[in-house]
Amino acid sequence: MQNQIPVWKFFASLAVIFLITACTPDTPKPEIFTGQHTGKAKLRISRTEARDIGKQIWNNECSGTIAGLTSWNNGEYFASLGIGHFIWYHRDKRGPFEESFPPLVKFIHSRGIPIPQIARRSTCPWKSREEFERAINSPSMVELRKFLHTTIPLQAEFIFLRLENSLPKMLVSLPPNKRDTVRNRFYSVAGSAKGKYALMDYVNFKGEGTKKSERYKGQGWGLLQVLLEMRMPTVKTTVPGEFAAAADRVLTRRVQNAPNDESRWLRGWRNRLQTYLP
């Protein structure tokens, strides 16, 4: 096991380095997971694991490019910003999915990092993808991309902290007779580097699965639903593969239940799940 240090100390110092040198995610990023309602259990992520997770998520969402840090996907009604494509809604059109960009900005600000004027707004300033695209090279958008590039370590920490909070959130939403199942499967998946990455990526990708608004025909597609769907194998090394298979079934069900055609997304989702395999 590699040396590990408290996450807040590492990320605070690493963020300063990024602000000075505009480094890439090749710089190591460790983290400590602590389930708030599960005693004192901890999941430790080594420097190498954290570095690889952050880099892979950036590749998944942005193809590892600076340009990809400010995006608005075709067919969507919200901006997708940062390495995790954090959602930002315009005030005139909200949605059922959890809005994550304003909490990210608040988190970064809490670390003493200056926030660009445009990111201080409570809602997205662009009303449509067309308006967003017209502003893509504006001074405010360029400043926003620079901000998102230099705060990559803090964005990675924000995703890590979301995972830290996900287990207690999921357990509270369950009846008592299902809590041990979800807890045990969660830690089984987290027992390998690939499994840790799968958990980190999926909770950022599709959420915890606890919001009632994130349901089609009463069925969700978040981390909770994947853990409940899993068919636990007898060999530990195949657990990340079963997590990926369960996620495929859950996302396929989402497409089948969707009120509008979402089949165009399924191929890309499945390609992403392939990165979870050992």
What are the tens digits of pLDDT across the range 121-131? 999 999 999 99
Residues of the chain by 3-state class (helix, strand, coil), percent to 5: 55, 5, 35
Structural contact between residues 30 and 47, judged by C-beta atoms closer than 8 angstroms: yes
Between 23 and 123, the higher pLDDT residue: 123
* 28 has a pLDDT exceeding 60: no
Contact 266, 252 (CB under 8 A): yes
Distances (CA, A) of 38 to 8, 68, 204, 221: 21, 37, 21, 24
| Residue 79 reports pLDDT greater than 90 | yes
DSSP-assigned states of every residue in 12-47: HHHHHHHHHH---TTS---EEEE-TTSTT-EEEE-H
> How large is the average pLDDT for residues 67-88?
93
Q: Identify the DSSP state of 99.
A: P
* pLDDT tens digits along 185-229: 999 998 888 898 899 899 998 999 999 989 999 999 999 999 999
Residue 10 has pLDDT above 70, yes or no: no
Q: Which two tokens stand for residue 3?
A: 């040396």
User: Is a pLDDT exceeding 80 seen at residue 25?
Assistant: no
Give me the pLDDT at residue 47, please.
64
pLDDT tens profile 235-257 = 777 999 999 999 999 999 999 99
Which pTM was predicted? 0.75
What is residue 78's DSSP assignment? S
**Residue 79 pairs with which residues in a beta bridge?**
88
